[in-house]
Structure 1
Amino acid sequence: MKAMFGMILALATTTLSAHVHNLVDLQVVDRDSGRILDVQHKQGRAYVAGEPGHRYAVMMQNRTGERVMAVLSVDGVNAVTGETADPYQGGYVLGPYERAEVNGWRKSMSEVAQFVFSAPEWSYAARTGRPQNVGVIGIAVFRERAPVYAPPSPPIYRDNDWRRKDAQAPSAAKEAEAMAQRNQPAPTGAGASHDSAAPYAKRGRSEDFASELGTGHGQREWSQVNTTQFERRSSRPDEVVELQYDTWQHLVDRGVIRQPRWGREEPSAFAGRFVPDP
């Protein structure tokens, strides 16, 4: 398998809790309020409520003791390359147990354009002609392929020439076999397909459930990263995580968030004796 190149994050970290998964935890932080957006669940999907006009960050926590690569999709767009998101594209490489913050669309090795909650028509995806997946943040996570260890050939007994020639033949065959194994691509798994591995990039969305929020292309800010070599263990993602986002009121209307009931007792005209301060 050809080596893939990802990005090493060199960004701010946090110790706050996240939306837990097996390999990488995903969370969204409102950068203007400093608040982690609470995750709501309905019918197997995860939702967060964003505030229009607020900047936000995507937080990723590697829960494993090995490097992983996360291909980040925002509104169906790769947040590093700007292409329509596909798991086989480049992404962010996280070291063992590393937690990192992505504040925007990557513009260069040292700059991003801020993620900003906006009206869907003003989202970066819609303005570039790709509005189908506005309102969803996703990551496709890949484990790293371990290097193949080729043991050294056993020593050959060289007491005379004919024995040396007989012994060299099987040794050369073993070396050729080891070389073939090193060049062999990682297994893709039974039934792996391009579409099944990229649900957040390919899925159409119903108008009834279309988000009233998108992610705009905000002001630029400094965000330094470096490149590294990363070879995927498999061509199919080891984990796909999605968070859908919308306005608070629209999530209430969709039945995702339940409004609390104010008071459970019967109302009374004379519940108190005097008028308290507001």
Structure 2
Amino acid sequence: MRKLIYTAALLTLSTAAGAYDSHAIDEVDIDVVSDRGRHFETYPLRSSSDDTFRAYLEAVPQENYSIRVRNRGGERIGLVIAVDGRNIISGKKSHLRSNERMYILGPYESATYSGWRTSGNRVNRFYFTDVEDSYSAAFGDYSAMGVISVAAFREKQRYRPHSYNKRDDDRYESDSSYKSGKSAPRASEKGGRAFDEPGTGYGNDQWSPSVRVEFEAEKRAFSRYFMKYEWRETLCEKGVADCYRRNRLWNDRWDDRGFAPPPPRYKKKFKRSRWFSRWHW
């Protein structure tokens, strides 16, 4: 018997099908956008693979956001979406598995998911906030704070044989972000650092109709997407974002001749001593 799973009722059909790419992560496009349609800045990581995409994302304090997903393939797919480690439909702790509540996208369709689903027709908006104001923190769950995750599943076909590979089990269970166990320490246990980190809040109520459809997902996701959102200051500290203001007519590297430079104070002191010698000889 097939499961009944939610799908957004209002979907935007994409007219450009695009070329079918051999890389699994290219079969689904995912963007995080503001209410004005602006894309939040993302910084892809080199650790991404053919079936797993990872990136940093710049969060803006108190700004609403939505997760926009486009299916570039010719078949229906199921999407398990988690924010801060919680399934956005059920609100329960997510492990990105096929038995969780999921949204369904038809071939070449796109949809925007803007909040925690509270009923078939309502959601409460996503917005960037402090950890302690986040939806997950309200449940004492800090295990995947600051991560937007999407797992895409193909629809199970009776004629398609399932090939079991133990290495797949090992690979999925090794993901510490979604492995079952103790939650991450609270802010007090982390020296207050959590208050400087972002989370996703439980925002304003909004109309968002959906319908239930039949969909039986394959056991394994064919692609997964992880976006770790941080404040801009943190991205600058990590060296992820280039926050250094450059002079368009001068490159500071021109001063680097490959030798050990004198300490900064030494330069100033040296200039003062030359000035003194010039006028008080």
Deviation at 1:266, TM superposition (A): 6.0
Deviation at 1:224, TM superposition (A): 0.3
Inter-partner Cα distance in structure 2 for 1:3 and 1:187: 21
1:62/1:98 contact within 8 Å kept: yes
What is the RMSD of the two structures over their aligned residues, measured on CA atoms? Answer: 3.1
- Structure 2 counterpart of 1:238, which letter? F
Contiguous gaps of at least 5 residues in structure 2? 15-23, 48-53, 252-281
Deviation at 1:68, TM superposition (A): 0.3
CA shift in 2, pair 1:58/1:266, >3 Å: closer
Spell out, residue by residue over 1:149-195, the C-alpha distance to the aligned partner (whole angstroms, 9 max, x if none).
9xxxxxxxxxxxxxxxxxxxxxxxxxxxxxxxxxxx94443334387
- Structure 2 counterpart of 1:118, which letter? T
The equivalent of 2:65 in structure 1 is: 56
- Structure 1 counterpart of 2:44, which letter? H
- Structure 1 counterpart of 2:9, which letter? A
Deviation at 1:69, TM superposition (A): 0.1
CA shift in 2, pair 1:82/1:194, >3 Å: farther
Identity among equivalent pairs (%): 31
Inter-partner Cα distance in structure 2 for 1:6 and 1:197: 25
Q: Note if 1:28 corresponds to 2:13.
A: no
Deviation at 1:49, TM superposition (A): 0.5
1:75/1:137 contact within 8 Å kept: yes
Inter-partner Cα distance in structure 1 for 2:58 and 2:126: 15
- Structure 2 counterpart of 1:30, which letter? S
Aligned residues: 226
Q: Note if 1:82 corresponds to 2:99.
A: no
The equivalent of 1:254 in structure 2 is: 238
Inter-partner Cα distance in structure 2 for 1:138 and 1:90: 14
What is the DSSP-based 3-state SS (H/G/I as helix, E as strand, rest coil) of the residue aligned with 2:213? strand
Of 239-248 and 202-211, the range deviating more from structure 2:
202-211
Inter-partner Cα distance in structure 1 for 2:144 and 2:170: 18
The equivalent of 2:211 in structure 1 is: 226
The structure with more radius of gyration: 1
TM-score, normalisation: structure 2: 0.71
Contiguous gaps of at least 5 residues in structure 1? 150-184, 268-278
1:11/1:101 contact within 8 Å kept: no
> 4+ residue runs of structure 1 moved beyond 3 angstroms?
11-15, 185-192, 197-200, 203-211, 264-267
Q: Note if 1:202 corresponds to 2:179.
A: yes
Inter-partner Cα distance in structure 2 for 1:14 and 1:50: 28
Inter-partner Cα distance in structure 2 for 1:3 and 1:193: 24
Spell out, residue by residue over 1:35-65, the C-alpha distance to the aligned partner (whole angstroms, 9 max, x if none).
1112112442301101110100001111110
1:3/1:229 contact within 8 Å kept: yes
Inter-partner Cα distance in structure 2 for 1:263 and 1:96: 48
- 2:155 paired residue among 115, 136, 144: 144
Deviation at 1:264, TM superposition (A): 5.0
Deviation at 1:255, TM superposition (A): 1.2
Q: Note if 1:40 corresponds to 2:43.
A: yes
2:11/2:109 contact within 8 Å kept: no
Deviation at 1:115, TM superposition (A): 0.3
| Higher helix proportion | 2
TM-score, normalisation: structure 1: 0.72
1:39/1:48 contact within 8 Å kept: yes
